[in-house]
Amino acid sequence: QGVEGIQIDRKMGKLGNLSLSQQVNTYDGTQDQNPDSTTQTLVYENQLSKTTSVRTQHSLTRYENGEHETLTSNSLSQALSSRIGVSVTDTKVEREGDKPDETHRDYGFWVDFGKNIRLNYKAVRNLNGDQGDMHNEVTVTPGEAQGVKVGSATYTHNGWDDKRDQSIGNVSLSNV
């Protein structure tokens, strides 16, 4: 497999940052039967204010066999105060023919309790055609408050559209 790429970045001050890239993937067919492809990507990012940032991406991949797919992703992140914030990302992959389209939606928020303790929550919904999964994650960063030391805390739940669920968690607490 061979990969060649080029990327051009332009910082435009208060207008944001623009990035243009192209990546060419070639396969010799000995280990991988994927068709060669060329992906062209445009990314725009900007810090709209001290508390709000946006990012948008548009990619077009053309395959050697004539097929193509388009990826579009848009993100918004907003600090609601110095200790609370939210973020949202919506990504779509559209494909030709009978290949399934994909949709990914990521939602998150964070709360900073001070003393290096921060609660993060993330929910991700993925749809691949008519099949989907859900991923939820809660984490607490290490810190110390009121005589209790939080080493780490994580809870993760994965679900596959009424087929299977998986939950994993751990907590590390100690006295100071």
Q: What is the pLDDT of residue 144?
A: 86
d(CA 88, CA 107): 5
Q: What is the pLDDT of residue 154?
A: 94
Write out residues in the chain with pLDDT < 70, as ranges.
none
d(CA 50, CA 13): 14
With contact defined as beta carbons under 8 Å apart, do 80 and 86 qualify? yes
Q: What is the pLDDT of residue 161?
A: 82
Q: What is the pLDDT of residue 40?
A: 98
Give Rg (Cα) of the chain.
21
Q: What is the pLDDT of residue 69?
A: 95
Q: What is the pLDDT of residue 21?
A: 97
d(CA 164, CA 102): 20
Encoding tokens for residue 19?
């990035």
Q: What is the pLDDT of residue 98?
A: 81
Sequence letter at residue 108: G
Return the sign of the alpha-carbon dihedral for residues 143, 145, 150, 152: negative
Q: What is the pLDDT of residue 123?
A: 94
